[in-house]
Each structure stands twice: as C-alpha cells, then as structure tokens.
C-alpha cells in the first residue's frame, strides 16, 4: 500500500516534529571521526585526514564500515565494538550544539508542536548527549538504535517513534541532514525537511525526495509555520 503523499511542499497540518541528531541538532564531527579512526587503527588501517571519515556521520555504523572500508559483517561488528571503546567515554562529548538550535526548539515548543528525536545513534548515547547540552527537556521522546544493533535503520527508528507515541504519519514531519533521514521518513509516510548545514548536500537531499530544503537553522521555523501564520 502506498504510504507516501506527493505534496512536494511542507505544510502546517502536522503537530509532531521528529529531528535527527547528528548534523541536525549537534555537530559530532570530532567525536565520530576520531572514534572511527580509533577503530580502523585496530585493523591496521591508517587515516591521513579525519575529513576522509565524514561519510560515517549519519548512517548506521555497521553499514558504513562495510560500505566505506569493505569490511565483512563480522569485521564491521567488531569495528563498532572498537569504536564504542573510545566513543562511549570521550567521543560522545567531542560535540557541539549547532548555532540557533536551542532557540528553534524553544520557539517550536512554544507554538505547541510536540518534538521527538529519531536517530540511528544508540538511544543511550543520544540521551546522554542531549542531557549534557541541555536539549533533552525539549523532547517528549528520544529514540535511537539498540546497542545490539537492532532498530538501526532510520525507517525503523521513525516508525518506533510513531507507534510508541500514537502519532499519525500525516501529522508528523521529519527533519534531517542525510538521505537516510529522507528515505526513512518517506518509508513511514512522513513529509520531510532536509537541512544543508549538516553533512548531506542539497543534491543528496533532493535526490532522496526531500519535500523542502532549509539552508540555515533560522529558516526551519518559517518553513514549518508559514501556512499556519497565513491561515
């Protein structure tokens, strides 16, 4: 059954907004790339520059190790174990809130929207990061993957948020910076807003099927509330 509506633009009929975490709410570049480098070093793979590892930001880690370094499934699982050795104690906090995000969340919450986080990062890490940077109080539910690797696909995470909070997909919007966010949203029947201030390009987001694109944090609220204000 077709779950997707082909409107082509974000509308104001939704009441729930789901946010990706990495590259959308916070900039995790240092922590993720250094932790990936740590894991790769365990396999005697040297990295000349951390920017070579930016593609690891966003997608599930197991998939990334297999895609970007041709690891077997078993090697990829072990690489994630090595990654977490560093990330869980250090990399997690090598992070920073993207400028303008706290004000955006405050504004949307004051307008009556219910806010959620849907990330491929393990829930326990997402909760810790958002608490550390004092963003956790804005969200009704923070959902990520499980540490055992299950629920790592973005569509699975989004669907879990919808199911656990009794949200109808036509009343929800997904905001994210990578194609995985857009593809996951479409798979669940949500409209989706891509942002280019993270780690995905405008081309990536448009090709994935984003309904709208925001180039700056300050544009997001306007795109969401435009029709509400006009009405």
20 is an active site residue: yes
User: Which residues are paired to 75 by β-bridges?
Assistant: none
Q: Measured between alpha carbons, how far is residue 177 from residues 21, 22, 125 in Å?
A: 9, 8, 19
Report how far Cα 185 is from the mean position of its chain's Cα atoms.
Answer: 11
Q: Are strands 191-195 and 212-214 parallel, antiparallel or unpaired?
A: parallel
Residues 210, 182 contacting (CB under 8 angstroms): yes
Rounded distance between C-alpha atoms, residue 196 and residue 98, angstroms: 12
Q: Measured between alpha carbons, how far is residue 49 from residues 52, 126, 168 in Å?
A: 6, 26, 44
For the chain, where are the E strands, in sequence order? 16-19, 26-27, 96-97, 114-122, 141-145, 172-176, 191-195, 212-214
Residues 3, 184 contacting (CB under 8 angstroms): no
Please identify every residue annotated as catalytic: 20
């Amino acid at each position: 059954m077709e779950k997707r509506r082909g409107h082509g633009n974000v509308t104001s009929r939704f009441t729930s907004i789901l946010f990706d975490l990495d590259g959308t709410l916070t900039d995790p570049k240092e922590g993720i790339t250094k932790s990936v480098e740590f894991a790769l070093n365990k396999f005697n793979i040297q990295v000349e520059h951390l920017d070579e590892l930016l593609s690891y930001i966003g997608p599930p880690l197991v998939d990334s190790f297999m895609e970007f370094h041709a690891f077997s499934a078993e090697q990829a699982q072990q690489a994630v174990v090595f990654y977490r050795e560093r990330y869980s104690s250090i990399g997690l906090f090598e992070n920073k809130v993207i400028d303008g995000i706290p004000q955006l969340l405050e504004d949307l919450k004051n307008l009556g929207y219910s806010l959620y986080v849907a990330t491929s990062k393990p829930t326990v890490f997402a909760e810790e990061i958002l608490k550390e940077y004092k963003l956790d109080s804005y969200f009704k539910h923070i959902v990520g993957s499980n540490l055992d690797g299950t629920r790592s696909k973005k569509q699975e995470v989004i669907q879990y948020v919808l199911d656990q909070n009794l949200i109808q997909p036509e009343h929800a919007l997904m905001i994210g910076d990578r194609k995985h966010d857009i593809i996951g949203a479409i798979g669940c029947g949500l409209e989706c807003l891509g942002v280019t201030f993270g780690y995905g390009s405008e081309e990536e987001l448009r090709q994935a099927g984003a309904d709208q694109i925001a180039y700056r944090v300050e544009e997001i609220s306007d795109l969401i509330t435009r029709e509400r204000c006009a009405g």
